[in-house]
Amino acid sequence: MKKNILFSAVSGTDPISKNSDGPLLHICRKYRPTEIYLYLSKEMLELHRRDDRYCLSLNKLGEKLGCTFTIEVIERPELDNPHVFDIFYKEFRSILNNIWEKHEGEDFDFLLNVSSGTPAMEAALQTLAAFGENKYIPIQVTSPAKGGNFPKEDFIIEKVWATNKDNEEKYCDRSVVSENLNLVEEIRYGIIRRHLKVYDYIAANTVANTCNHLSDVILAMLEASEDRFRLDLDKVEALQKQYDFNFMPTTDARYQMNIEYLLTLDIKRKRKEYVDFIRGVTPINLDLLEIYLSNILNINIKDYCETFASGKVCITQRKLKKTEKGRDVLEKLEGGFKKGAAKGYNDRLPYSSEHLRILIESYGNDRNVFAMVAELRTVEIKVRNLAAHVIICLTEDKIKKECGKSPDDIMNILWGLARKAGIIQNEDIQSSYRNMNDQIIQEIYSGNKNVSFS
């Protein structure tokens, strides 16, 4: 169960004034935080040491509500001029970060009382709520009367508690989540939108987790977008089922991972992450050629493969010679590698796209496919191997200079080969990530920004 944690400075209106809760007590009455951190400057600390008014009142409230507050007092006896914003911004940031780290991994809301303390304290907490590293919820409490509240010199808990109107069953709730965050929230939504537009799902999620008014559905969608880019499709499927949305462009389980891999590779191209893009060509090229052989040429190459203890996968003569079709495949491989029947086929060569190129050209008749396979093989030999084994900076111009094809050309060849292999029937698949981004953005701006902290 989610718990609430409260950080609060205190001021003259705390804990009770004018027969009503001060902000500190009023927030605790509604949100019932399990832990309360009280920040006391010199003046407030003197009152605390004189009559323990803050802890006594909180404990009295806990008895009434049937809950227990764990209270930690942060004493600052040297702080006799609590009006400098910079002091509090730096110190509050450090204190709040330490409290957050203490509870890392727990399910909690971190509340900030922005109605107690000096104006500098309140401003510092509002700023941290808006722009801090963590997600804070600033709570404001309005005064019960038009005039200002003034502290009583003598604090007698039984007396002030008995006259506190907020102890009545139907008390007036004067606490609200600070409206000053509305503009900040809109700014954050805009930042999320910009991150989505450039396919940066980790950054979009990071910003989303600092927002106060995003629904569980939106947070789940953003989480799923990041999981999708990492190809964690089981987690994506679970989130889609739980929150009733759908990002996936195909329900054909046979080719879903291939399509998603192509889409992530395309994003690396769009983001100009060319080293990762080029390195990523080989696995999908191999898969597409295998699928083409199986779907179009009726050859399941995996029937002839063996995996050795080292992890190396080879098309072995032992497997090939078991069937008439296998022996024919062996003959084609021997001819393609120009080994000759006398020397035999070297079946300790690691299985690669070169094997598949030979077989596609031997059994197929689609010259367009032949061209695609040859072009991708050139990319592998002249650029991919370079990127895989050497620390290098790859630019669009360098890629084109090395293999004669731009990143756009290479991606188009891969999409073309996927169509030829029969795994793409819907042309909208290539727009799948853009459609997902639009879906998330629309959800964010549709007004689904309500949140409950009760």
84-96 pLDDT tens trace = 777 788 889 999 9
Total length of the chain = 454
Which residue type sits at 168? E
pLDDT for position 343: 60
3-class DSSP state of 39? strand
Q: Is residue 454 part of a domain?
A: no
pLDDT tens-digit series, residues 179-190: 666 667 778 888
Residues 308 and 221 in one domain: no
Could you tell me which residues come within 8 angstroms of residue 40 by beta carbon, excluding any fewer than 6 positions away? 9, 10, 48, 54, 73, 74, 75, 76
The CA-CA-CA angle for residues 35, 36, 41, to 5°, reads: 155
315 bridge partner residues = 305
Residues 156, 42 share a domain: yes
Q: What integer pLDDT is reported at residue 340 of this predicted model?
A: 46
Strands (E), 227-323: 305-307, 313-315
**List of long-range contacts for 247-253, beta carbons under 8 Å, 24+ apart:** 247/221, 247/432, 247/436, 247/439, 248/432, 249/426, 249/428, 249/429, 249/432, 250/426, 250/429, 252/423
386 in a structural domain: yes
pLDDT of 448 above 70: no
Mean pLDDT within 260-287: 94
Q: Is the pLDDT of residue 415 over 70?
A: yes
Does a structural domain hold residue 321? yes
Res 112 pLDDT > 90: yes
Local confidence band at 344 (pLDDT 50, 70, 90 cut-offs): low
- One-letter amino acid of 128: L
**Contacts within 8 Å (CB) and 24+ apart, 434-443:** 436/225, 436/228, 436/247, 437/196, 437/197, 437/199, 437/225, 439/221, 439/245, 439/247, 440/196, 440/218, 440/221, 440/222, 440/225, 441/193, 441/196, 443/215, 443/217, 443/218, 443/221
Rounded to whole angstroms, the Cα distance separating 230 from 33 reads 37
At 147, is the pLDDT very low, low, confident or very high (cuts 50, 70, 90)?
very low
What does the alpha-carbon distance between residue 124 and residue 180 come to, in Å, rounded to a whole number? Answer: 13
In the chain, pLDDT over 70 holds for what percent of residues? 93
Cβ neighbours of residue 60 closer than 8 Å, sequence gap 6 or more: 157, 161
Same domain, 282 and 312: no
Both 124 and 21 in one domain: the answer is yes
pLDDT above 80: residue 302: yes
pLDDT at 210: 81
Give the total number of structural domains in the chain.
4
Residue 339: the pLDDT is: 52
Label residue 391 by pLDDT band (50, 70, 90): confident
Final residue in a domain of this structure, among 158, 178, 198: 178
Neighbours of 131 (CB within 10 A): 11
- Whole domain around residue 200: which residue ranges? 183-249+436-444
- In the chain, the percentage of residues whose pLDDT exceeds 90 is 57
pLDDT band at 276 (very low <50, low <70, confident <90, very high): very high
- CB-CB contact of 288 with 414 (8 Å): yes
Stronger pLDDT, 29 or 163, i.e. the higher one: 29
Helices (H), 77-156: 85-102, 119-131
**Do the domain assignments include residue 450?**
no
**Dihedral sign, Cα of residue 17, residue 18, residue 19, residue 23:** negative
For residue 101, the domain's CATH number is 3.40.50.10770
Residue with the larger pLDDT of the pair 14 and 83: 14
Q: In a 3-state reduction of DSSP, which class is residue 5?
A: strand
Query: Residue 163: helix, strand or coil by DSSP?
Result: coil
Q: pLDDT tens digits, residue range 428-442?
A: 899 999 999 999 999
Split at pLDDT 50, 70, 90, the class of 220 is very high
In a domain, 452, yes or no: no
Where among 126, 150, 178 does a domain terminate?
178
Residue at which a domain ends, from 325, 352, 379:
352
Residue 358 falls within a domain, yes or no?
no
Assess whether pLDDT exceeds 50 at residue 454.
no
Beta strand extents in 179-327 (DSSP E only): 305-307, 313-315
pTM above 0.85, yes or no: no
Q: How confident is the model at residue 23 (pLDDT cuts 50, 70, 90)?
A: very high
Does the pLDDT at position 219 exceed 80?
yes
- Cα 356 to Cα 221, 261, 336, 364, 374: the distances in Å are 39, 20, 10, 11, 11
pLDDT category at 292 given cuts 50, 70, 90 is: very high
Residue 129 confidence (pLDDT): 86
Q: Which residue has the higher pLDDT, 68 or 158?
A: 68
What mean pLDDT is reported for the chain?
Answer: 87
Give yes or no: residues 152 and 112 share one domain.
yes
Task: Give the separation between CA 109 and CA 2, rounded to whole angstroms.
Answer: 7
> Residue 181: its pLDDT value, please?
60
Residue 98 lies in a domain: yes
- Residue 111: CA count within 13 A, CB half-sphere: 32
Same domain, 32 and 171: yes
**Confidence at 146, pLDDT banded by 50, 70, 90:** very low
Q: What is the pLDDT of residue 342?
A: 45
Q: Is the pLDDT of residue 175 over 90?
A: no
Question: Is 208 found in the same domain as 162?
Answer: no
The three-point CA angle 383-385-390 to 5° equals 95
* Residues 262 and 220 grouped into a single domain: no
Q: Are residues 170 and 188 in the same domain?
A: no
Considering the domain architecture, whether residues 197 and 234 belong to the same structural domain is answered as yes
Lowest mean pLDDT among 137-146, 173-182, 264-273, 340-349: 340-349
Q: Average pLDDT, stretch 298-314?
A: 92
Residues 404 and 266 in one domain: yes
pLDDT score, position 130: 80
The band of 385, judged by pLDDT with boundaries at 50, 70 and 90, is confident
* Residues 55-102 pLDDT 10s: 999 999 999 999 999 999 999 998 877 777 777 888 899 999 999 999
Instruction: Give the bridge partners for 138, in sequence order.
Output: 112
Q: What is the mean pLDDT of residues 123-152?
A: 75
22 part of a folded domain: yes
Distances from the Cα of 188 to the Cα of 74, 203, 439, angstroms: 32, 11, 17
pLDDT at position 426 over 60: yes
Mean pLDDT of 37-47: 91
pLDDT of residue 159: 84
Tell me the average pLDDT across 17-38.
92
Task: For residue 453, name the pLDDT band (cuts at 50, 70, 90).
Answer: very low
Are residues 119 and 39 part of one domain? yes
